[in-house]
Amino acid sequence: MIGVDWGTTSFRAFRIAADGSIRDRRTALRGILNIQNSKFADSLREEIGPWLAAGESHVLLSGMIGSRQGWKEAPYLPCPAGAPEIAAALVEIEFDWAQVKLVPGLSATDEAGVAEVMRGEETQVLGVLTAMGGSGLACLPGTHSKWTRVEGNRIVGFTTHMTGEAFGALRGHTILGRMMREGPADGAPFDAGVRRSGDPGGLLHHIFGARAEVLAGRLAETDAAAYLSGILIGHEVRAALDGRQGEVVHVIGSPDLTMLYARAISAHGGFAERHDGEAAARGLAWIGEHATWR
């Protein structure tokens, strides 16, 4: 089969063998925001045409391609949901002679009853956690970080933290960014920011320190961005781990970002295990196995 993790900014396709191993892969800067005039079918044909010509006919797409802004909307499926429930809710698309199906996003409510949604991350989480015993806590850091609880191979709940997007907005559009200069993202200033997140006063107070400490000559301009990043990631991790200290967190994503999260998780009393970005391929294979193909 062919699995595609098709997000807002990127397109990653995998040709997957019957045993779940990856036979081939393609990556393109063809996220749904980069595609003009909704030419999703043309884009897909250009990217995976050779694999289709070679005999593949089962194509599974996950991510924002199934959103209202994507090719066709695959409505959110409520939690708890695992591969069988997701496979039963796939949305089919007309596409040449191949069978193309969209993975639905998931919805949930957090412990206070507030709405939650994810789209794409469910596939990555299932890809990693089914290989790790089918239960546990996963964190997918990024623009909108997701903390996901899995039990018996099903996603039972999750929370979103707007950490990456808040960092970009604060750095790019507040007084904090004006005194920041390029510097390393990790190291001692990041760790100092993580420690700072445990102090009294709250996040909105702590972030001001990224300015005041520079004004006071106690933080270099080249270290201020890493310090701010540590404060925000520290607050996310601290809130997400509240009452769960000592637990293993499966951190799924790019190596630079999972390294930062592993440091913050360790500082706040958790144990991080890092996983790379091919989690999506394993999740697509797992959902594909449960799907009904003609």
Q: Which structure tokens are listed for 239?
A: 């809130």
Least distance to a copy of itself, CB of residue 29, Å: 20
Residue closer to a copy of itself (CB basis): 53 or 114 = 114
Q: Which of 17, 88, 169, 188 binds a copy of itself (CB under 8 A)?
A: 169
User: What phi, psi does 150 have (nearest 5°)?
Assistant: -120, 130
Binding mask 77-116 for a copy of itself (x = CB under 8 A): ------------------------------x--xxx-xxx
Per-residue x/- marks for a copy of itself, 178-207, CB under 8 A? ------------------x--xxxxxxxxx
52 vs 239, beta carbon nearer a copy of itself: 239
| Omega before 80 within 30 of 0, i.e. cis | yes
Of 62, 49, 41, give the one whose Cα is nearest residue 120. 62
State the minimum distance, in angstroms, from the CB of residue 123 to a copy of itself.
19
String marking each residue 121-150 x if it binds a copy of itself according to CB under 8 A: -----------------------xx-----
Amino acid in position 51:
W
Burial string for 222-250 (b: 16+ CB within 10 Å, else e) reads ebbbbbbbbbbbbbbbbebbeeeeeeebb
Min dist. Cβ of residue 294 to a copy of itself (A): 33
For residue 48, give the amino acid letter: I
238 is a site residue for a copy of itself (CB under 8 A):
yes
Which H helix or E strand runs over 148?
strand 145-151
